[in-house]
Amino acid sequence: MKPIIYGFCCMAAAGAVLLSGCGKQNRENPFMKAYDTPYGIPPFEDIQISDYEPAFDAGIAEAKAAIDSITSNPDAPTFANTILPLDNLSPTLDRVVSVMFALTEADGSPELTEVNEKLMPRYTAFTDEMMMNQALFDRVRVLYENIDTVNQPLDERRAINDTYTAFVRRGALLSPDKQNELKEVNTKLTDLYLKYNKNLLAANNAFEIVVDNKDALAGLPSTTIDNAAAEAKARGKEGKWVFTLHAPSRLAVLQYADNRDLREKMWKGYTTNATTGDNDNRPVINDILKLRAKKAALLGYKNFASYMTADKMAKTPEAAEALLMKIFVPAKAKVAQEVATMQQLSNDMGNTFSIEPWDYYYFAEKVRQRDFALNEAEIRPYFAVDSVRNGIFAMANRLYGLTFEEMPDAPKYHPDVKVYDVRDENGEHLAVFMTDYFTRASKRQGAWMEELKTSWVNPDGTVERPIIYNVGNFAPPTADAPALLSIDDVQTMFHEFGHALHGMLSRVPLKSQSGTSVDRDFVEFPSQFHEHWAFDPEMLKVYAHHYKTGELIPDSLVTKINAASQHNMGFMTTELAGAALLDLNWGRLNPDGDVDVDAFEKQVAEKLGMPSQLTFRYRSPYFKHIFGDDGYASGYYTYLWAEVFDADAYELFREQGVFNPELAGKIKHILESGASQDPMELYKSFAGRTPTPDALLHQRGLVD
């Protein structure tokens, strides 16, 4: 999901043109004017490393000139002369930052990383300067303090309120001395986030398990073995097999490898990731914790978690934790049942060991095969990546009337990328959608959605439509087969596409309220809500075709998939809720000195009664969500918070039809509305009620 990096720096009128030397010829910097490409897609093939810094500097100058124009306006502050131009500061800055961020994460290089490390602190300094500009804040405050005396439309009232709140949360009310302290803290945090992410990427790429005995591969799917052989060849170890920490490799080993030593090496390699040598992130975490505590104190909060939840639906870390514990306690009880079942199966197989964390995935898979006769090797051929992509497109068509047409000649930043022209139910252009699904060394771990361009309405009434992309880390095709997805991969693809729909369908006038710019604890509602269609029997009949024969997935497999949908939910929910609770505990910490990261995690686990057979979904040195930037810091709870909403919403669809047009229209309204309305009010207008965790607990099989 997209991190918050842009503040109020967005696109507006065209900027200046810069010519930079290229041998004896001058060339035009592509960032310096509106792109002359279909729908304004960045011309990736024309962008050079040398383009970023001059365009960035020009964008900062353009934004500062726009701010000066606002503050020097002699007219009384109005929405039109203050908030609107704040929403439209610099097209140049937006273009260069959006591409730089996108490529650093999805297709990075040492040269681009160096540029990013140089420019992002300067970007932070600029946003601090803007948000602490007293003349600018005074105009915003006038609007805020007089908001009830003007007949302002609801979305404009929300924009005024949110803008004022953002200024205050960035230090606008502090004294000059305190503002300078806060600026210093923010700059240091930006440097630390860059260092954390750089360490993590390096550690991920450095780790490998080399296998030279084919017998050690017993139990692994043939596609996993083929990919491991290809990885070994790429690393100059032809004739061997190399396994990495990238999810397709790691999870396959943990789930299928009969060799227990191989599973243990993989689990220990993963859970100690980024903890050694120059890539050790624990010292970085300590520095981040101290600076976050200082930032919270400067802004008048008792801890960083209180600061991060204050402007969200939860309002307090205590409210977030209370919800998590309602889920964690029954999930933990379910784990005890799951472990007992797995232990008995292991004993029956003649094993004498107790289930350890590196055994959990393996024996969970054995139980699933035994109880549900469900084998992923039998299922994967029906989930080739192109088939699943057809599935998400078919879902969007059935629910919202959208169509997708591939643009094979469109600019793209990597050959793996596919680009689509998305059209609405009237055949009008709605968005550009890009997919980038396969793992590679230049891409960070995980899956996410982002925008290269958001949507908005210009003052003259013309509409700008968004450019949205989804990134994954699925195993690539082999010489003999296309990329075949696991059940988890399919769910991830539908999840990220839910975020993409949120961005594509946005219809609000303001950039700052478009798409996923909603409260952080509501932003996962659209993504998780659309996961429900991934394995819906009616949906599977549309897209799940065998990649070799074209045969539609048989009813027997559909029945097995859905019968097993609650399998292992104790483990999955406990590790997720546990990670969210760990995050909140980090956020409530105000350390005087260095903290032993491992010991603190152990302390939290003991306090929660975390089962010994599992750990947090992410350990802190590779918990990028919370230490790679501020986006999900003290906010990882939002996945489960939002699932309360999505589970409750899907119950209505189950009752009235999964493609019920009236309900789909109401969901579409939520997606179109972005942050222009209060999320709880939007939800209640759809469901007619406030959600409770009941549906979530039932759907996960955690209560009867």
Active site residues: 496
DSSP letters spanning 19-37: EEEETTEEEE-GGGS---S
- Ramachandran angles phi, psi of 114, nearest 5°: -65, -40
Tell me the torsion sign for CA atoms 512, 515, 516, 522: positive
What is the β-pairing status of strands 418-423 and 456-457?
unpaired
Angle at 404 between CA 398 and CA 409, to 5 degrees: 170
CA distance 577 to 556: 33
Residue 394: how many other CB atoms lie within 10 Å: 16
CA distance 414 to 45: 9
Judge whether 386 and 491 are in contact, CB under 8 Å: no
CA distance 440 to 69: 45
Q: Which amino acid is at 681?
A: E
Cross-strand partners of 266: none
Q: Buried (b) or exposed (e) across 245-281, using 16+ Cβ within 10 A?
A: bbbbbbbbbbbbbebeebbbbbbebbbebbbeeebeb
Distance of CA 388 to the CA centre of its chain: 20
Q: What is the DSSP letter of 45?
A: G
Per DSSP, the three-state class of 243 is strand
Distance of CA 649 to the CA centre of its chain: 22
Please report which helix (H) or strand (E) contains residue 26, including its range: strand 25-28
Judge whether 243 and 253 are in contact, CB under 8 Å: yes
Cross-strand partners of 467: 432, 453
| Rg of the chain over all Cα atoms, to the nearest angstrom | 25
Cross-strand partners of 406: 420
Tokens representing residue 199 in the block:
């360490």
CA distance 602 to 693: 28
Please report which helix (H) or strand (E) contains residue 430, including its range: strand 429-438
Tokens representing residue 667 in the block:
């969901």
CA distance 647 to 664: 15
CA distance 152 to 82: 14
Residue 421: how many other CB atoms lie within 10 Å: 17
Q: What is the DSSP letter of 354?
A: P
Please report which helix (H) or strand (E) contains residue 468, including its range: strand 467-474
Per DSSP, the three-state class of 58 is helix
Cross-strand partners of 429: 423
Judge whether 697 and 703 are in contact, CB under 8 Å: yes
